[in-house]
Amino acid sequence: MHREIDTLILTPDDMGRIDHDAAASGLSSYGLMERAGQAVAAAALRRFPGALRFAVLCGPGNNGGDGYVAARALQEAGAAIAVYAFGDPATLKGDAAEAFGCFKGPVFALADYAPRVGDVVIDALFGAGLSRDLPETVIRTINAVREKVLPVLAVDLPSGIDGRTGQVRGRAFEAVATVTFMCRKPGHVLLPGRMLAGDVEIFDIGIPGRVLARHAGHSRVNTPALWRVALPTETSATHKYVRGHLAVFSGGATATGAARLSALAGLRAGAGLVTLLSPRDALATNAAHLTSVMLKPLDSEDDLAALLEDARLKTFVLGPGFGHMDKARHYVRRLAETGRQLVLDADGITAFRDDPGSLFQLFAASDTRLVLTPHDGEFARLFPDLAADKGLSKIERAQKAAARSNAALVLKGADTVIAAPDGRALVNDNASPWLATAGSGDVLAGIIGAHLTQGMPAFEAAASAVWRHGEAGRAAGEGLTAEDIVNALSGLSEIG
């Protein structure tokens, strides 16, 4: 069953407000810590039954507090433990001081921890409150643990991962698993944090859903439950024009493959009709490779104007292998002015590098009709200031870009973020590493176009396309080519 809380992504700041609110509504904050620490101990015993010793490393804040609770629970369960503290535990405050007070046993200085084979490290040094690069002592400990290749179970986040951005602050533990509380944080889903967190277990420590909902923002993990209702429904009466007509602009004679991939993907992803708009000098090449995709000559704005007389042609993909920057800008303007929906990818994005504002202006005064699909390099061409701002997380960057461009923005990568102008953001996590192959982005653009032309709103069209692209990549498996992704699309079982 889909639970809202399972897809929510909360920033450490959101979480702080939630904790505060939970305490203000009468919930014992120490009770939350007790449950958090107990959950960590249970995960440790379940995951590492053969551990010779649990080395519990506790920090100067509440993450450390969770560590003292876990140490006590492990001790009570009869496990061998050794506890090491960063900073003087006598200076702990609040719940962490209480947790420390309840732990009966020696606590050594972190600098004295000598990792031993057979140790399992419980990393309770820093969690949501990490505010700067790790101190030298902690970095030395991380290096020593990594050198001995000891398994690490992280409390809330691997120490060194910034919970808001997923970036590494100096150095970070690489955990086998991370136990976090209530919801995932950006640091669990954005790279490199996602790789370093290992398996993420989300444990419910008892904060009521209404408190979470009050402070939850608009970020989620991309799952079918979030857009399934917007998927086109197939009925026996479905006619090919009802399923929409998608048009894809082809590049010149020597660069036709990319657009053909988009077109084929569009057809497989459910567009009723797909037409490839090809320069006349590339018609023969395109014709030699196409059967179900239709082909139309198009060399100029006049050709395009004539084509746009057909009101059923609502949706276009421009960019894959396109090549001509001037033409790209002119065609895009024409499409915008005639109210068309557009997936702008690759060269289509680069064409606006000198004046991104002119692109945003074209689509500013309407519902979201534009989907932009940049990778990081292309993103920097349209949004140089956002790309350069290292303080922003990938989620925040995508949200700001979507708002500025009034587009559904797909910021690609192994942790693709899809954002809407109204602030909604989804982080995708089903991509296989093999998806990073030539032509993969062209396929994605075609799937988005197919979803748009079947009537899905832009954000949902993009999010579901990214998800299906990921599933197809998994189904196609290791060594896949872009053609394999296209072929796997039709073999996918019902979404979600």
Ligand X SMILES: NC(=O)C1=CN([C@@H]2O[C@H](COP(=O)(O)OP(=O)(O)OC[C@H]3O[C@@H](n4cnc5c(N)ncnc54)[C@H](OP(=O)(O)O)[C@@H]3O)[C@@H](O)[C@H]2O)[C@H](O)CC1
CA geometry: angle 15, 71, 189, nearest 5 deg: 35
Q: Where along the sequence are the contacts to K ion (CB under 5 A)?
A: 123, 127, 154-155, 159
- Partner that binds at residue 159, options K ion, ligand X, none, CB closer than 5 to 8 Å by kind: K ion
Among 19, 119, 123, 162, binds ligand X (CB under 6 A): 19
Q: Measured between alpha carbons, how far is 370 from 342 in angstroms, rounded to an integer?
A: 5
For ligand X, which residue of 14, 56, 58, 60 counts as binding (CB under 6 A)?
60
What's the min distance (Å) between Cβ of 163 and K ion? Answer: 10
Chain center to CA of 190: 6
- Binding positions are 62-66, 123, 127-133, 156, 159, 258, 321, 375, 412-416, 441-442
Should residue 158 be labelled a site residue for ligand X when binding is judged by CB under 6 A? no
63 binds ligand X (CB under 6 A): yes
Question: Residue 172 Cβ, how far from ligand X at the closest point, in Å?
Answer: 11
Rounded to the nearest 10 degrees, how much is the dihedral formed by the CA atoms of 440, 442, 444, 445? 170
322 is written with which tokens? Answer: 């396109």
**Residue 156 touches ligand X, criterion: CB under 6 A:** yes
> Hey, which residues does 9 pair with through a beta bridge?
184
Q: Is 61 in the site for ligand X (CB under 6 A)?
A: yes
Using the minimum distance from each CB to ligand X, give the nearer residue, 181 or 316.
181
66 binds ligand X (CB under 6 A): yes
Which CB, 70 or 401, lies closer to ligand X?
70
Tokens 């057909």 correspond to what residue? 310
At 338, which amino acid appears? T
Kindly tell me the burial class for residue 280, based on how many C-beta atoms sit within 10 Å of its own C-beta (0-12, 13-18, 19 or more). exposed
If one asks whether residue 15 binds ligand X (CB under 6 A), the answer comes out as yes
CB 115 within 8 A of CB 121: yes
Give 187 or 449: the residue with its C-beta nearer to ligand X. 187
Which tokens go with 419? 């954002």
Residue 155 engages ligand X in binding (rule: CB under 6 A): yes
Shorter beta-carbon distance to ligand X: residue 134 or 395: 134
- Closest by alpha carbon to 482, among 422, 429, 416, 436? 436
CA-based nearest residue to 366, from 328, 397, 408:
408
65 binds, among ligand X, K ion, none (CB under 5 to 8 A by kind): ligand X
H/E segment holding residue 81: strand 81-85
Judged by CB under 6 A, the residue of 11, 43, 58, 62 near ligand X is 62
Alpha-carbon distance 107 to 91, whole Å?
A: 14
Q: Which residues are annotated as a binding site for K(+)?
A: 63, 123, 159
* C-beta closer to ligand X: residue 97 or 294: 97
Residue 10 interacts with ligand X (CB under 6 A)?
Answer: no
On whether the CB atoms of residues 492 and 468 are closer than 8 A, the answer is: yes
Query: Is 153 in contact with 179 (CB distance < 8 Å)?
Result: yes
Q: Which is nearer to ligand X, 126 or 383 (CB)?
A: 126
Region 101-140 residues binding ligand X, contact defined as CB under 6 A: 126-135
Q: Is 65 in the site for ligand X (CB under 6 A)?
A: yes
Amino acid in the structure at residue 204: D
Residues engaged in binding ligand X (CB under 6 A): 15, 19, 32-33, 36, 59-66, 126-135, 155-156, 181-182
